[in-house]
Structure 1
Amino acid sequence: MSSAALPAGARPGLVLADLLPGARTRDVALVVGGVLGMALMAQVAVPVPGSPVPITGQTLGLVLVAAALGPVRAVSVMGVYILAALVGLPFYSEASGGYEAVVGATGGYVVGFVPAAYLVGLAARHGADRRFLRALPLFVAGQLVVFAVGVPWLALTTGMSASEALAAGFFPFLLGGAVKAAVAGAVLPGLWRLVGRR
């Protein structure tokens, strides 16, 4: 894509958050906002029969936060999100928090948010979030990183076999993950177009 096709202010190397003024104050506010957004998205939760892992809005929040904030701020959001739950804030699904929520059966998925945020944020910094057909595979890949950490963690913490962990912690989430990637793949390019009109 040529730079002429980019919206005003959308040169490569930027993410949406870079368009806001006041670097240090902006970054702190964005990280706090990202953490609160993740906590809010976690409350959108649907239990999966036979699985300790619910379907939540967290991975949608993850890809939106990572693409909008870039790799450093997004990793900071995920790190603070984990620390907030460790100290007992009710930031995970069903308003849970505490040590067990972080290190228990579903904790690996949240730990997987950290490398996924870096991957998605870095790709967004290189413009991969600006067109649906580029954003969609990026957002699918980000969620696959979460599963790559979460499913083995689920198996280790519960004593499930690999096939049981896949059945409980991966396969039920494929359709929802594709939908979330499509939603994010529509939202982020839409936001860039909106910025371009201003």
Structure 2
Amino acid sequence: MTTATFSPQHTRVLADLIPGARVRDVALVLSGTLSIALSGFIVIPLPFTPVPISLATFAVLLTGAALGPARGVSSASLYLLLGVAGAPIFGDGRSGWAFASFGYIIGYVVATLVVGTLARRKADRNVWATLGLAALGSLTIYAFGVPWLAVFLGVDFVTALAYGVIPFLIGDALKIAAMAALLPVTWRLLNRTGRS
């Protein structure tokens, strides 16, 4: 998991700017997991769907972009494994896997891979590319969350979309816009200080 050498195909992500190697990577993975878990506790239940609004998706996208694919996937996977093992770290203090929004949590792992890979290719350095990176990450989470929701509730795909996508589009648009502002600005600041 060391990231000591870089080729043009292996561009640095924000986490690579921190000195160290293995200890840094372990600390970053644990920090990513903690960030996802703490953000997951910020939930707004909606009366018309079993899926709450959560800041965890924003933390997942940022974790993937800032840590890169390997560390991002490790963070999201650790979050998933701890929750399945019984740690009450999912939204509303849940654990296990038998609940309507668990598919989204599976999607977190894949989304960190997608977003982290795109960040390695510098898709987090300008507004338009970051909009695409964040939108693709969000779609990846939905790609796992909606089918799980449909099966878990025993509803058709259109109903699952109504429960698991439509109510969250405005919030996701805000999260995507926030990422498109935050990441390129961070890179610009680092470029000015000569740290990138």
Deviation at 1:22, TM superposition (A): 1.0
- Number of residue-to-residue matches in the alignment: 185
Greater relative contact order structure (CA < 8 Å, 6+ sep): 1
1:18-39 C-alpha deviation (Å, 9 max, x unpaired): 1111110000000000000001
Give me the TM-score of the superposition, normalised by structure 1.
0.90
Gaps of 5+ in 2: 1-7
- Give, in whole Å, the separation in 2 of the partners of 1:62 and 1:82: 12
The alpha carbon displacement at 1:16 in A equals 0.4
Q: What residue identity is the alignment partner of 1:119?
A: V
1:152 maps to 147
Q: Tell me the distance in 1 between the aligned counterparts of 2:161 and 2:45.
A: 16
Deviation at 1:90? 2.1
Structure 2 letter corresponding to 1:20? I
Q: What code does the residue aligned with 1:132 have?
A: V
Query: Matches of residues 1-198 of structure 1 in structure 2 within 5 Å?
Result: 13-97=11-95, 99=96, 102-198=97-193
Structure 1: gaps of 5 or more residues: 1-10
The letter of the residue matching 2:129 is: R
Using the aligned pairs only, state the percent identity. 44
Q: Over residues 136-184 of structure 1, what are the superposed CA-to-partner deviations in whole Å (9 max), with x where a residue is unaligned?
A: 1210110011001100100101101111111101111111111101101
3-state SS in 2 of match to 1:70: helix
1:131: Cα distance to partner?
0.6
Structure 1: 4+ residue segments shifted above 2 A: none
CA distance in 1 between counterparts of 2:148 and 2:32 reads: 25
Q: How does the TM-score come out when normalised to structure 2?
A: 0.91
For 2:112, the aligned partner's letter is A
How far is 1:104 from its partner? 2.1
